[in-house]
Amino acid sequence: MEKNQYIVAFEIGSSKIVGAIADKSSSGYVTVRMLEEERLINSVRHGEVKNVENIKGAINRILRRLENRINGRITEVFVGISGRSLHSEITEANRDLDSSNAITDQIIDRIIQESMRTTSNNYDTIDVVPRAFYVDNKETDSPSGQFGSKISIKLNRIVAKPAIKISLKRVMEPTIEVRRYIVTPLAAADEILSPEEKSLGCMFVDMGAETTEVAIYKNGSLLYFTTLPLGGRNITKDIENGLTIIEADAERVKKNIHNPLELSNESINIEGVNSADAAQYISARAGEIIANIIRQIPYANLNNEDIKNIVLIGGGAQLQGFNKKLEEAAKINVRTGTVPHTLNILDQTINRPEYIQILSLLAKGAEILTDGESCIEIITYDDGGTGLHVNTAPKTEPVPEVKPEKKPEKPKKSKWKFISDKLGSLLQETDSEDM
C-alpha cells in the first residue's frame, strides 16, 4: 500500500501565527487534517519579526500541539513569506544552445535557478516566476521539446529586503527545518484564480492588517506584483487616534458599524463612540487604500479596461462595504476569493476566509513535494495499518558486538509465554520513546 505524503505549513502574520497539516494521497488528492494558531500583536510588523522570543515560543507551542494531535514528529515545514518590501522586478535570462538538441525542462529549470542567485539594489531574490519564453527570438508558450540556437526567458524576480527573510530564519530554522519559503500572496493567487481570469486580465488583492499585496495577471502570466504599506490596522489606528480610545475598542467599533463606507446621518453608540464620527475615519482611510490599489494598474502598463476581475482576500478586506466601494471606484467586477477548491477540508471550522493564506501554502507545498517526500515521519504497523507515530530517539552509530560470558542456560519458555513477554517489551520501549 502506498503511503500518503504529509505537508506542514506555517504562516507568520502581523496578527496571528498559524500552522497546519495536510496529506496528499498517491492519486494527488490533498486533505487538510488540522490547524493550530496563536494570536499575537506587535511581534511582527510589515512582515518582519520584531520580537524573536515571542514568535519562537508561539511556533514551538504550535508545533507541540500539532505533534500531540498526530502522535508523531514534524521534520520540516513550508513557510509563507510576505512583507512591505516584497515586489517584482522584470529581468531576462539568455542562453546559447546546441541547435541539434531539443530544449528540455532541465535546461529551463537550470536557467530559472541561476536567476534565483542574482541580487540587485540590496534586495534578496525570494522567487522567480517566468513571464514569457522565446526560442530564437520567437515567443512560445512552451519551449520544451523545441529546437533552436538560443533561448530567452523573461522573468519576474520576486524580491524583498534581506531583513524579511533573515528575521524569519531567526525564528524558524533554530526550531524546525524549513523546506522552502513560499511567497504567500502568489501562492494564494495560483490556487484561487482560474486560468481564464489570468488569461483575460485579473488583479489579485490580499489586504491584511498592515500591508496590501497586489498581483496583476494578463495572458496567463504574472505581469506585476507589489506590496502597499497600508491595511486594515491603519483604519483601526485612525479611529483610535482620532477618537482617543484604545486599539481593542477601535477594532470593535470598526467591525460593528453597519456599512461604515455609506456615510449616513444614522448614529449609534458603540464602545462609547458615536458611529457617525468613526465612519468618517473609516471612509477616509478606506478610500486611500482603494485609490492606491487602482493606481497599480497603470504601473503594470495596463488600462482599467484590460482588467476583467478583481479578486479580494484578507482580513482587512472583511470591512463591510469595501468590495462595493472598490468596484464602484475601479469600474471593474470585484469578487471575494474562496478557499482553494483543490483541497478537501475535514474540519469545517477552519474552512473560513481568514485561513485562505495558510490553506494555499498547504496546496502549494503539496505541488512542490516529489514522490516519496513528506514533512512528517510515519511508520507502518505489522497489521498493515499506518499511524503518525514515530520513533523520536536520536540515531546512533552501531556498537561493536561484544560476546558475553557463557552463563547457565535458563529454562525454555513456552511459545505463548515468549510472545507475550516480547510484545510487552516492545510496548514498554515505545512508551518510553514517546515521552
Write down the pLDDT at residue 397.
Answer: 40
Query: Are 177 and 192 spatial neighbours (Cβ–Cβ below 8 Å)?
Result: no
Return the C-alpha cell found at 354: 481568514
For residue 46, the tally of other CB atoms under 10 A from its CB is 21
For residue 75, the tally of other CB atoms under 10 A from its CB is 15
Selection from 51, 113, 50, 126 nearest residue 85 by Cα: 126
For residue 69, the tally of other CB atoms under 10 A from its CB is 13
Selection from 146, 152, 153 nearest residue 99 by Cα: 146
Q: CA-CA distance, 374 to 93, in Å (whole number)?
A: 33
- Low-confidence stretches of the chain (pLDDT beneath 50): 1, 389-408, 410-420, 422-435
Query: Are 339 and 345 spatial neighbours (Cβ–Cβ below 8 Å)?
Result: yes
Write down the pLDDT at residue 45.
Answer: 82
The DSSP string of 217-244 is EETTEEEEEEEES--HHHHHHHHHHHHT
Cβ neighbours of residue 402 closer than 8 Å, sequence gap 6 or more = none
Q: What is the pLDDT of residues 225-273, one digit of tens each?
A: 999 999 999 999 999 999 999 999 999 999 988 888 887 767 788 888 8
Phi and psi, residue 337, nearest 5° = -70, 145
pTM confidence score: 0.83
State which amino acid sits at residue 418.
F
Domains of the chain (ranges, CATH numbers): 5-83+163-191+340-380 (3.30.420.40), 87-160 (3.30.1490.110), 202-336 (3.30.420.40)
For the four alpha carbons of 54, 57, 63 and 69, in that order, the dihedral sign comes to negative
Reported as half-sphere exposure (CB side, CA atoms, 13 A), residue 401 has a value of: 1
Return the C-alpha cell found at 335: 469578487
Beta-strand (E) ranges in 73-140?
73-74, 76-81, 87-96, 124-135, 138-140
For residue 362, the tally of other CB atoms under 10 A from its CB is 30
Write down the pLDDT at residue 420.
Answer: 45
State which amino acid sits at residue 277.
D
Write down the pLDDT at residue 362.
Answer: 97
Q: CA-CA distance, 287 to 230, in Å (whole number)?
A: 11
Q: CA-CA distance, 409 to 220, in Å (whole number)?
A: 77
Write down the pLDDT at residue 115.
Answer: 85
Return the C-alpha cell found at 283: 471612509
State which amino acid sits at residue 397.
E
Query: Are 158 and 125 spatial neighbours (Cβ–Cβ below 8 Å)?
Result: yes
Q: What is the pLDDT of residues 336-372, one digit of tens each?
A: 999 888 899 988 899 888 899 999 999 999 999 998 8
Selection from 82, 73, 69, 67 nearest residue 17 by Cα: 82
> What's the chain's average pLDDT?
85
